A and B are shown apart, each in its own frame.
Chain A
Amino acid sequence: MRIGVFICYCGSNIAANVDVEKVAEEAKKFPGVVFTQTNLYTCSEPGQLQIVKAVKENNLNRVVVASCSPQVHSRTFMRTVESAGLNPYLFNMANLREQDSWIHEDREKATSKAIDLVRMSVSKVYRHTELYPKYFDIKKKVLVIGGGITGIQTALDIADGGRKVILVEKEASIGGKMAQLDKTFPTIDCSACILSPKMVDVGTHENIELLTNSEVVKLEGSVGNFEATIKKKPRYIDISKCTSCRDCEEVCPVTIDNNYEAGTAKRKAISKMFAQAVPSAYNIFKRGKAPCSSSCPADVSTQGYIALIREAKYVEALKLHREDNPFPSICGRVCTHPCETECTRKLVDEPLAIMALKRFIADYELKLGKIPLPHMEEKKPGKVAIVGSGPAGLTAAYYLAKEGYEVNIFEAMPEIGGMLRSEIPDYRLPQEILDKEIDVIKRMGVNIKTNSKIKNTEKLWELREKHDAVFLATGAHRDMDLNIGEKNIEGVLPGVKFLKDISFKKAKKMKGKVGVIGGGNVAIDSARSALRLGAEEVTIFYRRSQKEMPAIEEEYEDAVEEGIKFDFLTSPVRVLEEDGKLKGAVFIRNKLGEPDSSGRRKFIPIEDSEFSCELDWLILAIGQRPDTDYLVTGDNKLKITKWNSIEMENEDILLADSMGIFAGGDMVTGPATVTEAIGHGKIAAKAIDKYIAGQDLEKIAKDMAFEKDSVNKLKTEEVFSKKELDSFKRKARIKIEKIDPQRRRKNFEETVKTITEEEAKREAERCLNCGICSECKQCSTACQADAIDYNQREEMLVKEVGAVAVTVGAEVLDSDVFGEYGGGELEDVITSLQYERLMCASGPTNGHILRPSDKKEPKKIVFLSCVGSRDRSRGNEYCSGICCMYIAKQSILTKEHIPDSKSHVFYTDIRSPGKDYDEFIDRAKKYGTQYIRGRVSKIYRREKDGKLIVNGIDTILNEPVEIEADLVVLATAIVSNKNAGELAKILNINTGPFGFFKESHPKLRPVETNTDGVYIAGTCQSPKDIPASVAQGSAVASKILALMSKDKLASDPMVAKVDKIRCIGCNKCLTVCPFNAIEESEFRGGKVVNVIEAVCKGCGLCEATCPIDAIKLSGFSDEMILEEIKAFPK
């Protein structure tokens, strides 16, 4: 063994606290050391040459350099050793600087430590062996993350160098923060003018693939061979078709904050990021499907029609509604409105009166005349039979007829409408309203046969033979039995039958006391109808409490207003009769127990609490079940469940039998709501259309399930943050007018009135636009280029690249965290970025500086630097670096815009160390900008005249300053990107204490990271100005081009190696390996493992795990480290 030890003075860095010569002297005594030498600067060229010379002259076969941290110079010295003809891995370092001389003052102890460190290093190198890298191909494609000026520069440089680039940008356009600036210092040239051409270059460069609205979510592999997973969010616009004509923007009803204008202006939900955006196309800003729309069983675009009502586009609103639900007028009256239950506005004050809004537009149209027919497709071959004309059947008929099919409806009752007709009383849904909406279906050419009951399966299959598909929607009309001796008693009526008789004008007048049993809508409808038929006293008996009642809240309230009595927590026990005529009933009291599987609390009868009640009529409204006997009468029966509902073959597409029998509505779900039935009708129509077109049933089911599941349904609680919810102004929900309860008791006149146009508009304005885009489809109608595509979905793209450049930029701190400066409440206290927009010719004020509060020109402007920077109390000790310069720029521009203005700048220190920078500050001073050294303690609006008062201190004159300002501009701190931490984890790179990415060496490797092949540039590394960002961007490009100029890349040979003779194939290493770099293998017929060298990253987890020492990490094996430990002085 011939080890050479080279000890560095590092000028005086090491020598000041370590006696270098003594270390060299001691090192001579270590086993194997045959040569020692000290150098002033070992890393310098002469220093390196001396190592080469010494190796050659002394025939050294190991080298130890005791100098700085191996993280600084190990690569340098490995190259030196290699050039001396030695294998570079026969080398080790001792860290005498960062971990010795720089942290210790006691020279003697530091020297003693240095000797230890060298001894340990020598012992380890003794065990080092020659290692040789493997060579592998490089993917010559680069991923650039972030399309600000830095990313643009990097991408262009690399693309110009002939390599393919994928540029990933989170927003809809590249440009970043620079695109928001008006002018740039110190030249005061227009930011857009120098940036836009570069943006266009990116957009048109043949080597650049631009992915906007995209984020990198995963990065695997290593330098030369990364595999990046990119989440591409939908833009809902076909970029290749969009001509940026603005037609869509004109008709969009949703206005949102414009983040490009830094909140100084609004934008439409469909808009272009900014005029020069690249790609030059519009973008739909969409959070997801609003909770109201998501909760609608018929999938109506609720937020959409509300937005259109706000714009007084009632015809369009109805058209949109009918795309998913052809019965706005009916649903505006009888829907159970889950949309209102889920409305996010309830978290602010009260939910929107959505049903009233829907009814308003429907009635508005009815007042104008006939309901217009929808756009009808051309007649198609294909006939569909629909059994049942309730909401499900009618809806299916509507959409199938619209598609061009011949539709025949078969209805058992004498009139069409199903439950809508027979069960919902006129005071809730007037029959003429029903007639008008059904009339549309007749006019669409649907054939309707009433009194045509399908009695058995023979008839059903006969029907199927004559048609291409059959849709069954026969509802749930059969009353449930109570079995308390109510059969054949005069005066006892089943609820549904009772209501049906009223609808078909067969009901008799009533007198005396009426009891109704049940808690659903049928019970309340029966009670209220009984009252209208002349009953003197009506009582509803319900077994649970009001809270558990399934009836709609409003119906209950209306009933109470009308004088209906409620007897909760009572169950009927038996009917009292005399000669077959009802006398009354016996009831028992209940109490509530634990919740059952449906979440409602169970009722438990209380012993000995029976009581009787005299009654003239007893209406039983305890629920209905489907009447499906006809499906099991005859040959080729269909299956029914124990609840009498039809058994489905595939519920997603409402398929009951693969022979083309579909079914929907209450007969599938059991008694449910009108809107659910309508939803079913629509699904069935869609499925039947595809079925007749000859598509495979499984494919239909898969497609329809995807359509349903791929939508991002927003949850009420998750739409807005608490802060956002607090920021919404409270606005009361409209009061919906009803006719007087006394008048109601007399007849079946409609109870609830339609709201007025003015009320509707006011209510619609309460909408919070949860989804952002409301899905009103106005843009797609307006777009002549057919560029709008609502079917775009989020995609996951996997790209193979050889290197990654991270240029995600930084953010500006929000001003609302500064309570002393108004906390964002003072309108005329703005951030520099906002001021930039106010000065910009393309900004909200067209480049006229007008202050936000009164749109007047400010004359006295105060700039505050270091707002949040160099401020320990905010946790940002660092200098944001660019504020002094842009304040000077903004003050100069202010003077140019408003010559009689005066600018004051509060500064901590003026930092202007750049080319032509200090001269620029002088220019600002020449323009009359007054610089005051000191900080501002408070900004407030003076009560008496409303002026903004800036209170500060001049630390040079040491006296307080008070300035009356028209406008205050805060140079808020530049803070790291809020996604930086997460991205750092994905990319396996580090962040520093303030969240900026950490470079691998602050001076010598400023754009590299500790993960080979991943580079950083621009403000994501630290705050910096445009020239510095661009320079770093180019630096990264040149680094990557250098990497890609090689044909092969050498792998790090410090990987694990298996001793196959020892290995017993226990696979313990395989389970711990974080990179799946170990695979099962065979050796001489026995099980062993094998290391995939290209995948191994050299962590050594396997070696620490191996129970029999069969796997070794080259360069850091147990033996080497144990030698190092043993060299520790006893």
Chain B
Amino acid sequence: MEKENKVKEMEKEEDVKIIAFLCNWCSYAGADAAGTARLRQPENIRIIRVPCSGRINPLFILKAFSSGADGVLVSGCHPNDCHYTDGNFYARRRLEALKEYLPFIGIDKRRFSYQWVSASEGQKWQSVVVNFVKRIKSIGKNEPK
């Protein structure tokens, strides 16, 4: 019985689900570049394409968690490289603030991360995914408490 539980637990760990919001110009193209280069990644991530990281309403992140995501990842263009000049700066400000609020609604703030990945950084995207999935697995599923 104990063993069975453990297996179940592990399966659960394996099964973490992550929503990623990627800006259309840099990070979404970077994730495509990773695909074109066949860079293997864990299957846990579902990507939502948005025009710019600055488009992201903090509500999206909260909604993602309440919809059952175990982790939420945001990725945009590198600072100063934003397709819309400075959208990612607004994103950084909002998301940094949001991160600090997550514990107040019972969410471990490690479940949320934002990154900068450019269109040419397929490899970086791969490592971002691998590391983030590893992190979320180590925290486990985001079960309602």
Q: In the complex, given contacts A95-B47, A985-B81, A1113-B55, what are 14 additional A-B residue pairs having Cβ atoms less than 8 angstroms apart?
A: A69-B35, A102-B35, A102-B36, A103-B35, A104-B43, A113-B46, A120-B46, A988-B83, A992-B120, A993-B120, A1074-B87, A1104-B57, A1126-B63, A1126-B67
Contact with B along A66-100 (1 / 0, CB 8 A): 00011100000000000000000000000101110
Among the listed B25, B49, B67, which residue makes an inter-chain contact with A1128, where contact means beta carbons less than 8 Å apart? B67
Q: Convert B30-45 into 0s and 1s, putting 1 for each residue whose CB lies closer than 8 angstroms to a CB of A.
A: 0110111011110100
Contact B32 A69 (CB under 8 A): yes
Output the least CB separation between B109 and chain A (Å).
Answer: 19
Q: Which positions 85-129 of chain B face chain A at CB distance < 8 Å?
A: 85-87, 90, 94, 118-121
- B86 proximity list for chain A (CB < 8 A): 1074
The segment from A430-438, A782-790, A1094-1102 that touches chain B is A1094-1102
A1101–B57 Cα distance when bound, in Å, is: 9
Nearest CB of chain A from residue B143's CB, rounded to whole Å:
12
Say whether A736 faces chain B, with CB atoms less than 8 Å apart: no
Chain B residues with CB below 8 A from A110, complex form:
43
Interface window among A32-40, A409-417, A908-916, A1115-1123:
A1115-1123
**Residues of chain A lying within 8 A (CB to CB) of residue B26:** 990
Pull 27 A–B residue pairs with CB atoms less than 8 Å apart, ordered by A. A95-B47, A98-B34, A99-B32, A103-B38, A990-B25, A990-B118, A990-B120, A991-B120, A1054-B51, A1075-B85, A1099-B51, A1099-B84, A1100-B51, A1101-B90, A1104-B54, A1104-B57, A1104-B90, A1104-B94, A1105-B90, A1118-B59, A1122-B60, A1122-B63, A1125-B60, A1125-B64, A1128-B67, A1129-B17, A1130-B67
Q: Mark A1066-1094, 1 if CB is under 8 A from B, else 0.
A: 00000010110000000000000000000
Chain B residue nearest in CB terms to A1128: B67
Q: A102 to chain B: which residues have CB within 8 Å?
A: 35-36, 38
* Cβ of A763 under 8 Å from chain B: no
> Nearest 8 CB-CB pairs, A to B?
A98-B35, A1100-B55, A1099-B84, A109-B43, A1074-B85, A1130-B68, A102-B35, A98-B32
Chain B residues in 8 Å Cβ range of A1122: 59-60, 63
With A104-B43, A985-B81, A1101-B90 known as contacts, the answer to whether A1121 contacts B50 (CB < 8 A) is yes
Please judge, given known A-B contacts A1100-B52, A1100-B54, whether A97 and B40 are in contact too, CB under 8 Å: no
Query: Who on chain B is nearest to A106 by CB?
Result: B43
A1103 and B57 contact, CB distance less than 8 A:
yes
Contacts of B29 in A (CB 8 A): 71, 990, 1010
B138, chain A: closest CB distance, angstroms = 19
Q: Do A113 and B43 contact each other (CB < 8 Å), given the known contacts A1103-B55, A1104-B94, A1128-B19?
A: yes
B36, B48, B49: most-surrounded residue (chain A CB, <10 A): B49
How many whole Å from A968's CB to the nearest CB in chain B?
35
State whether the Cβ of A558 lies closer than 8 Å to any Cβ in chain B: no
Q: Which residues of A sit under 8 angstroms from B67, Cβ to Cβ?
A: 1125-1126, 1128, 1130
A1124 at the interface (CB under 8 A from B): yes
A1118: chain B residues within 8 A (beta carbon)? 57, 59
Q: A862 at the A/B interface (Cβ < 8 Å)?
A: no
Bound complex: CA A71 to CA B118 (Å): 15
Q: How far is the CA of A998 from the CA of B55 in the complex (A)?
A: 24
A1113 CB to closest chain B CB, in angstroms? 7
- B52 pairs with A1099, CB closer than 8 A: yes
* Number of chain B residues whose Cβ lies closer than 8 Å to a Cβ of chain A: 47
Residue of A992, A993, A1099, A1129 touching B54 (CB-CB under 8 A): A1099
Indicate whether A116 reaches chain B with its CB closer than 8 angstroms: yes
Q: Does B69 contact A (CB under 8 A)?
A: yes
Cβ of A820 within 8 Å of any chain B Cβ, yes or no, is no
In Å, the complex CA distance between A1124 and B21 comes to 11
Report whether B63 and A1125 are in contact in the complex, using a CB–CB cutoff of 8 Å.
Answer: yes
Residues of B within 8 Å of A113, CB to CB, are: 43, 46
Known contacts: A116-B46, A1125-B64. The answer to whether A990 contacts B41 by CB under 8 A is no
A95 to B46 Cα, complex, angstroms = 10
A95, A102, A1113: most-surrounded residue (chain B CB, <10 A): A102
Chain B: minimal CB distance from A1069 (Å): 11
Alpha-carbon gap, A102 to B37, bound state (A): 8
**Which partner residue on chain A sits nearest B58 by CB separation?**
A1104
A1054: nearest residue on chain B (CB-CB)? B51
CA distance A117 to B54 in the complex (A): 23
Interface size class of A (residues with CB under 8 A): 35 or more
Residue B28 lies at the interface, judged by CB distance under 8 Å to chain A: yes
Q: Is B56 an interface residue (CB 8 A)?
A: yes
In angstroms, Cα B25 to Cα A451, docked, is: 82
Which chain A residue shows the least CB distance to B52? A1099
B32→A117 contact, CB < 8 A: no
Report the separation of the CA atoms of residues A1104 and B53 in the bound assembly, to the nearest whole angstrom: 10
Tell me if B50 and A99 are in contact (CB < 8 A).
Answer: no
Chain A neighbourhood of B118, CB < 8 A: 990
Which residues of A971-1024 are within 8 A (CB) of B?
A: 985, 988, 990-993, 998, 1010
B137 shortest CB reach to chain A, Å: 14
Known contacts A99-B31, A1100-B55, A1101-B90; is-contact A1124 B84 (Cβ 8 Å): no
Best-buried of A69, A1054, A1075 by chain B (most CB within 10 Å):
A69
Q: In the complex the two chains form, is A105's CB within 8 Å of B40's CB? A: yes
The answer to whether A117 touches B90, judged by C-beta atoms less than 8 angstroms apart, is no
**Distance in angstroms between the alpha carbons of A69 and B54 in the assembled complex:** 22
- Docked Cα-Cα span, A949 to B83, in Å, equals 52
**Are the C-beta atoms of A1072 and B90 separated by less than 8 Å?**
yes
Q: Name B22's closest neighbour in chain A (CB-CB).
A: A99
Contacts of A990 in B (CB 8 A): 25-26, 29, 118-120
Q: Shortest CB–CB separation between residue A1120 and chain B, in angstroms?
A: 10
Task: Return B136 CB to nearest CB of chain A, in Å.
Answer: 14
Chain B residues near A1072 (CB-CB < 8 A):
54, 90
**A70 pairs with B41, CB closer than 8 A:** no
Report the Cα distance A307→B115, complex, angstroms: 57
Pair B119/A998 contact, Cβ less than 8 Å: yes
Task: Collect the chain B residues with CB atoms within 8 Å of residue A1116's CB.
Answer: 50-51, 55
Q: Are B17 and A1128 in touch, CB under 8 angstroms?
A: yes
Q: Which residues of A contact B28 (CB under 8 A)?
A: 69, 71
CA distance A104 to B130 in the complex (A): 12
Write out the residue numbers on chain A whose beta carbons fall within 8 Å of the beta carbon of B68. Answer: 1128-1130
- In the complex, the answer to whether B120 meets A120 with C-beta atoms within 8 Å is no
Which residue of the partner chain B has the closest CB to A110? B43
Q: List the A side residues contacting B47 at CB < 8 Å.
A: 95, 99
Which residue of the partner chain, among B39, B46, B56, contacts A117 with CB atoms under 8 Å?
B46
Least distance between B129 CB and chain A CB atoms (Å): 9
- How far, in whole Å, are A98 and B32 apart by their CA atoms in the complex? 5
Q: Provide the B56-82 mask, 1 if CB < 8 A to any CB of A, else 0.
A: 110110011001110000000000110
Contact status A1125-B35, CB under 8 Å: no
Closest-by-CB residue of B relative to A117 is: B46
Chain A, range 551-566, C-beta contacts under 8 Å to B? none
**Given the contacts A1010-B25, A1074-B84, A1121-B60, A1098 and B51 also touching, CB distance less than 8 Å:** yes
- Would you call A1128 and B54 a contact (CB within 8 A)? no
Which chain B positions have C-beta within 8 A of A991?
120
Interchain CB contact under 8 A, B83 and A1010 = yes
- Known A-B contacts A1099-B84, A1101-B54; the reply to A1128 vs B46 at CB < 8 A is yes
Residues of chain B within 8 A (CB-CB) of A70 are 49
> What's the Cα separation between A988 and B48 when bound, in Å?
23
Q: B84 — which chain A residues lie within 8 A by C-beta?
A: 1074-1075, 1097, 1099, 1101
> Quick one: which of A724-767 are within 8 Å of B by CB?
none
> B50 to chain A: which residues have CB within 8 Å?
1100, 1116, 1121
**B40 adjacent to A1125 (CB under 8 Å):** no
Contacts of B87 in A (CB 8 A): 1074, 1099, 1101
Min C-beta distance of A516 to chain B, whole Å: 62
CB distance from B15 to the nearest CB of A (A): 9
- CB A1072 to nearest CB in B, in angstroms, measures 6
Complex formed: what's the CA distance from A638 to B56 in Å? 69
Cβ contact within 8 Å between B51 and A1113: yes
Residue of B nearest to A1072 (CB): B90
Among B86, B87, B94, the one with the most A-chain Cβ atoms within 10 Å of its Cβ is B87
